[in-house]
């Protein structure tokens, strides 16, 4: 079973558990039906194959026919997919499929808005680890569909020395030195800074990426000038659609936005059965 299959199986078990009482009570087991998925607002589509997989895992006889692909831009009224098969299976898969699809479309749509805001500046928009527990692989995929870039996947695939690490290690220089002696040469070291003095210290310590955390745009511009291409510069903290363009124009290379995954609104998608 793949990681995505495990996510879906867990979601189905959570929802159906010992059985869909309503469907068992009111729907004949041999009833066949058709259904449609329809967009009820503008959005960037993400997760169509995940939705299809929900029904496939429930009942391999269900036919799921997408009308659009991930990354396509939809408007209200667009037909996203057509389904046919056992009515009970369609009903049991409806909420899990919609929950995942609506969530992923919301993330892709929000990401696309941020990407559009920084277009032409050279800044890259990335996500964070502020994801829904258990859904990170799907949510980070949705960020990519929306035009963003993934930051580290977890604690295991990148060194990011933050405020608490610095305190525990005894300072920026000590933290960078310890990290450098521990990791292979193939990994980069990123360090979080909050002041220009810390930026200078991180630069002197040999950090590969310097994060500017919750700095005002004017201070960011000073930091970019101070770093002068000797390290990549990431802006982070409190970024929103109203501020992201100004931040991008300071010259930073990367802007990380936790809101892409922790604050994206689920898109409005409906599933309707026809021809029962």
Please list the active-site residues: 95, 130, 162, 192, 213
CA distance 83 to 35: 5
CA distance 137 to 100: 12
CA distance 202 to 205: 5
Describe the chain by its helix, strand, coil percentages, rounded to 5. Answer: 45, 20, 35
* Residues whose CB falls within 8 Å of the CB of residue 210, separated by 6 or more in sequence, listed in order: 190, 191, 193, 199, 202, 203, 223, 227, 231, 232, 233, 234
Only one residue has tokens 């002041």, namely 195
The CA angle 55-97-12, to the nearest 5 degrees, is 75
Number of residues in the chain: 276
Pairing of strands 79-86, 63-66: antiparallel
- The closest alpha carbon to 46, from 127, 100, 123, belongs to 100
H helices of 74-162, in order, are 87-117, 136-145
Backbone angles phi, psi at 250, to 5 degrees: -75, -15
The tokens describing 258, both together, are 């936790």
Pairing of strands 43-44, 189-193: unpaired
């Amino acid at each position: 079973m793949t990681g995505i299959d495990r996510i879906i199986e867990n979601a189905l078990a959570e929802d159906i558990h010992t059985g869909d009482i309503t469907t068992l009570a009111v729907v004949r087991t041999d009833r066949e039906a058709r259904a449609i998925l329809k967009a009820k607002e503008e959005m960037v589509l993400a997760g169509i194959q995940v939705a299809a997989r929900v029904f496939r895992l429930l009942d391999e006889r269900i036919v799921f026919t997408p009308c659009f692909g991930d990354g396509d831009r939809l408007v209200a009224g667009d037909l996203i997919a057509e389904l046919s098969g056992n009515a009970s299976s369609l009903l049991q898969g409806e909420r899990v499929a919609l929950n995942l699809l609506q969530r992923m479309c919301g993330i892709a749509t929000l990401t696309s808005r941020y990407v559009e805001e920084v277009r032409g500046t050279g800044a890259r928009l990335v996500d964070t680890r502020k994801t829904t527990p258990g859904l990170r692989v799907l949510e980070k995929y949705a960020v990519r569909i929306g035009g963003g870039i993934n930051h580290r996947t977890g604690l295991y695939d990148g060194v990011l020395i933050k405020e608490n690490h610095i305190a525990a290690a005894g300072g920026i220089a000590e933290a960078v030195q310890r990290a450098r002696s521990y990791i292979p040469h193939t990994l980069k070291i990123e360090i979080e800074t909050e002041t220009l003095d810390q930026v200078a210290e991180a630069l002197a310590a040999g950090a590969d990426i310097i994060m500017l955390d919750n700095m005002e745009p004017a201070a960011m511009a000073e930091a970019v000038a101070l770093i002068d291409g000797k390290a990549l510069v990431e802006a982070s903290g409190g970024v929103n659609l109203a501020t992201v363009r100004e931040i991008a124009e300071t010259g930073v290379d990367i802007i990380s936005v936790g809101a892409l995954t922790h604050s994206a609104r689920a898109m409005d998608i409906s599933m309707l059965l026809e021809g029962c």
